[in-house]
């Protein structure tokens, strides 16, 4: 349906339809009513491409955050906002729930806000070129990369930690302190996401210390809710009582796991050492303080914006940045 | 600048300008270029009111959340989203930082998304009619009300707990258990917000038990960051060592305050009872579990949508709902 079809259907000229659509006064009330009624009937949406030329170029960078209320994201969101402003861009924040599709949300935001570029926070690790094609603008995966997908590396950017390497470092710290019965609590060993990557690091660290993988010490929680960290630890305690350390893949789960140990009369770290990765605020206030690898949240946000702005302004190509964590030595581990 | 002025400036007819703006093919390339160049020069924005008539009525309810990453809000956001969907509306989420103006953000969102109604989560308690006039649509204050402002009560709706009454209940629980040296940690006694209201409840409970207010036992933290809960408790311990209980105005601050007590060799609850209000997830995993008044988060969200939809659909007027908390008895208090 074009403006011509509307005119024909109404028995008026194309200019009359045009004048009605532009709210021009020089149209008779009868013609105006006729045109608007057909336009509504036909769900006619005028082509706005000429109109868009009128607008100044957008300065919008989109940030799609998957997982409303994930405390890990708060500092990153602030860092992205500050870096956007410093570079002369406006951040458009859009939060979606964990079950939603960040690529679809990103593509819609790109169109409705005429985004110049997009940062995805908390997305999936297994994109295909078909699924990202709809975005149509440069994008950066922040805190993750396409480890399980098929995107050519020059078609997207990423800023993340090396999940596998960091898990390896952390579990090696435990083996160096004499631990050999080291359990792991994660959501799934095949989640195509951080748990799977960190699990690989765990397995490698055990193997490099000559420790055989013991499937009974691997607890899958299915989710990242705190309550699952608690029940995951209870499950482990029902299975075995000879483990001396636990690597929990995320801080929030670890805080709940420590509570479960306490409630079942086990002391941290005397009876069981606990380590995790993330470094969220909450885990600095547990008793004892959780020993964790702190992700460089501000840098993750800042570098994502830096790469994106370079691409928008034609200075750079897609890049992949791996940042290091910093260990926060709490009181939750001890040597055997 | 109207479409007529553009036509005059270009030396073409109004219909020609109209045709260009509507991307109509029947315009010469020369005229098209001339019109677009003047339109850009003059930053002309066409009047879209006729065009808006074309669109179907909006089904959008806006949710402006002030305080990105506040864990207390997560469940409320989900409840609002579910209730909107159940009522046949679409929730449009917009998060702003604590320093930003939720009324301005709400007014912009109302226009850009053609909102039917607005829910404000985490806003200020002291609106004036002048400041809310720009919204132009029904709105509900969720988790707070206009305690320190001048809005006529029939011009807005609110769904919240009675902060003063709940604080009174909680401090009375401590006095009934024999505590008389009861400290309070809050951001400010004159914040025109929850701290001030909860402080009034604290004062009233002391007074009703014949306990004189002791200014040295009132600690102001200036913010709601966890780190301020920690340093607030340290400040209290430097001032005095004879308090036997502390009422902390928010769970997150209380978790940090408990950690400070522990780090300074004080046991909870043997040496000091700790209570708070909010009932966030994190405080269920402290050792011991925090005793707190749990806000009915799902109900706060659901009732806000209910009131708003009633107004949008012409079934109801502005209303003010006070919901009750439920106590979660943790292990952080004991009798003297």
Residue pLDDT, tens place only, A266-301: 999 999 999 999 999 999 999 999 999 999 999 999
Predicted pLDDT of residue A72: 84
Q: Does A287 touch chain B (CB under 8 A)?
A: yes
Q: Find the helix packing angle between A74-86 and A297-312, rounded to 10°.
A: 40
Q: For residues A261 and A290, is the Cβ–Cβ distance under 8 A?
A: no
The whole-angstrom distance between A76's CA and the closest CA on chain B is 10
Lowest mean pLDDT among A20-34, A48-62, A264-278: A48-62
Maximum separation of any 2 CA atoms in chain B, in Å: 91
Whether A217 shows a pLDDT value over 60: the answer reads: yes
Q: Which residues of A touch B255 (CB under 8 A)?
A: 282, 285
Q: Which of A18, A54, A230 sits opposite B44 (nearest CB)?
A: A54
Rounded Cα distance between B305 and B92, Å, is 13
Tokens of A98: 């964990």
CB neighbourhood size of B42 (10 A): 13
Query: How much is the mean pLDDT over chain A?
Result: 91
Lowest mean pLDDT among A2-16, A217-231, B249-263: A2-16
Q: Does B19 touch chain A (CB under 8 A)?
A: yes
Q: Which residues neighbour B48 within 8 Å (Cβ) at sequence distance 6 or greater?
A: A23
C-beta atoms of B23 and A230 within 8 A = no
Rounded Cα distance between A10 and A16, Å, is 10
Contacts of range A34-40, beta carbons closer than 8 Å, 24 or more positions apart: A34/A10, A35/A6, A35/A10, A36/B50, A36/B53, A36/B54, A38/A6, A38/A9, A38/A10, A39/A6, A39/B53, A39/B54, A40/B53, A40/B54
Rounded Cα distance between A87 and A159, Å, is 18
Predicted pLDDT of residue B51: 43
C-beta atoms of B69 and A74 within 8 A = yes
- How wide is the angle at C-alpha B73 spanned by C-alphas B69 and B78, nearest 5°? 110
- ipTM attached to this prediction: 0.78
Predicted pLDDT of residue A318: 97
Q: Which residues of A touch B74 (CB under 8 A)?
A: 68-69
DSSP readout, A62-78? EEEEESTT-GGGHHHHH
Q: Mean pLDDT throughout B115-136?
A: 94
Comparing CA positions, the residue from A177, A203, A178, A198 lying closest to residue A276 is A198
List C-alpha distances in Å: A210 to A15, A179, A246, A263, A335. 82, 12, 18, 33, 18
Q: For residues A248 and A194, is the Cβ–Cβ distance under 8 A?
A: no
DSSP readout, B22-69? TT-S-S-HHHHHHHHHHHHHTT-----HHHHHHSPPP-EEEEEEESTT
Rounded Cα distance between A282 and B234, Å, is 18
Percent of chain A with pLDDT over 70: 94
DSSP letter at A324 equals P
Query: What phi and psi values does residue B232 have, to the nearest 5 degrees?
Result: -60, -45
Q: Mean pLDDT throughout A50-59?
A: 55
Chain A residue with minimum CA distance to B46: A22
Q: Does B21 touch chain A (CB under 8 A)?
A: yes
Predicted pLDDT of residue B331: 97
- Tell me which of A24 and A212 has the higher pLDDT: A212
Rounded Cα distance between B83 and B81, Å, is 6
Burial A268-307 (b: 16+ CB within 10 A, else e): bbeebbbbbbbbbbbbbbbbbbbbbbbbbbebbbbbbbbb
Q: Mean pLDDT throughout A184-209?
A: 96
- Tell me which of B312 and A14 has the higher pLDDT: B312
- Tell me which of B23 and A113 has the higher pLDDT: A113
In which band, very low, low, confident or very high, does the pLDDT at B190 lie, cut at 50, 70 and 90?
A: very high
Instruction: Give tens-digit pLDDT for B82-95.
Output: 999 899 998 888 88
Q: List residues bridging with A142 in a β-sheet.
A: A121, A159
Q: Mean pLDDT throughout A308-331?
A: 97
C-beta atoms of A22 and B50 within 8 A = yes
C-beta atoms of B78 and A97 within 8 A = yes
Predicted pLDDT of residue B311: 96
Comparing CA positions, the residue from A121, A142, A190, A161 lying closest to residue A278 is A161
Rg (Cα) of chain A, in Å, rounded? 27
- Which residue is it, tokens 């070129």? A129
Lowest mean pLDDT among A50-64, A132-146, B107-121: A50-64
C-beta atoms of B22 and A47 within 8 A = yes
Q: Which of A40, A46, A93 sits opposite B95 (nearest CB)?
A: A93
Rounded Cα distance between A173 and A192, Å, is 25
- Tell me which of A26 and B229 has the higher pLDDT: B229
Rounded Cα distance between A321 and B277, Å, is 42
Whether B53 shows a pLDDT value over 60: the answer reads: no
Q: Does A99 touch chain B (CB under 8 A)?
A: no
Chain B residue with minimum CA distance to A253: B285
Which site among B2, B17, B24, B290 would you substitute to test the A interface, given the most A Cβ atoms closer than 10 Å to its Cβ? Answer: B24
CB neighbourhood size of B27 (10 A): 21
Q: For residues A31 and A12, is the Cβ–Cβ distance under 8 A?
A: yes
Predicted pLDDT of residue A55: 45
Whether A52 shows a pLDDT value over 90: the answer reads: no
CB neighbourhood size of A129 (10 A): 12
Whether A45 shows a pLDDT value over 70: the answer reads: no
Q: Does A168 touch chain B (CB under 8 A)?
A: no
CB neighbourhood size of B18 (10 A): 27
Lowest mean pLDDT among B17-21, B70-74, B128-132, B188-192: B17-21
Q: Which of A36, A81, A287 sits opposite B259 (nearest CB)?
A: A287
- Which residue is it, tokens 């705190």? A226
Instruction: Give tens-digit pLDDT for A244-268.
Output: 999 999 999 999 999 999 999 999 9
Q: Measured on CA atoms in the order A25, A27, A33, A34, is the torsion positive or negative?
A: negative
In which band, very low, low, confident or very high, does the pLDDT at B52 lie, cut at 50, 70 and 90?
A: very low
Chain B residue with minimum CA distance to A331: B263
Enumerate residues 192 to 211 of chain A having a beta carbon within 8 A of any beta carbon in chain B. Answer: none
Query: How much is the mean pLDDT over chain B?
Result: 91
Percent of chain A with pLDDT over 90: 72
Tokens of B143: 């988790």
């Amino acid at each position: 349906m074009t403006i011509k079809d509307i005119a024909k259907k109404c028995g008026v000229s194309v200019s009359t339809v045009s004048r009605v659509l532009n709210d021009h006064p020089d149209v008779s009330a009868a013609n105006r009513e006729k045109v608007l009624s057909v336009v509504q009937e036909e769900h006619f949406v005028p082509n706005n491409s000429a109109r868009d030329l009128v607008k100044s170029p957008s300065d919008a960078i989109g940030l799609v955050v998957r997982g409303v209320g994930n405390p890990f994201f708060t500092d990153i969101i602030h860092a992205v906002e500050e870096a956007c402003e410093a570079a002369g861009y406006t951040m458009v924040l859009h939060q979606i729930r964990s079950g939603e599709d960040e690529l679809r949300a990103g593509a819609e935001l790109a169109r409705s806000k005429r985004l110049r570029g997009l940062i995805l926070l908390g997305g999936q690790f297994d994109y295909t070129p078909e699924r990202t094609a709809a975005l149509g603008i440069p994008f950066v995966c922040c805190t993750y990369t396409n480890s399980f997908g098929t995107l050519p590396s020059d078609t997207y950017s990423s800023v993340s930690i090396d999940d596998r390497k960091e898990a390896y470092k952390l579990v090696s710290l435990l083996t160096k302190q004499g631990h050999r019965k080291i359990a792991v609590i994660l959501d799934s060993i095949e989640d195509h996401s951080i748990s799977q990557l960190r699990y690989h690091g765990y397995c490698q660290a055990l193997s490099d210390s000559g420790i055989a993988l013991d499937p009974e010490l691997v607890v899958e929680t299915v989710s990242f809710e705190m309550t699952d960290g608690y029940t995951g630890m209870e499950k482990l305690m029902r299975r075995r009582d000879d483990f001396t350390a636990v690597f929990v893949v995320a801080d929030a789960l670890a805080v709940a796991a420590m509570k479960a140990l306490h409630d079942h009369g086990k002391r941290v770290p005397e009876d069981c050492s606990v380590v995790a990765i993330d470094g969220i605020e909450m885990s600095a206030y547990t008793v004892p303080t959780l020993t964790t690898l702190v992700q460089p949240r501000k840098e993750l946000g800042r570098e994502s914006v830096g790469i994106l702005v370079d691409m928008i302004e034609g200075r750079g190509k897609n890049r992949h940045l791996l940042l290091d964590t910093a260990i926060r030595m709490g009181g939750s581990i001890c040597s055997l």
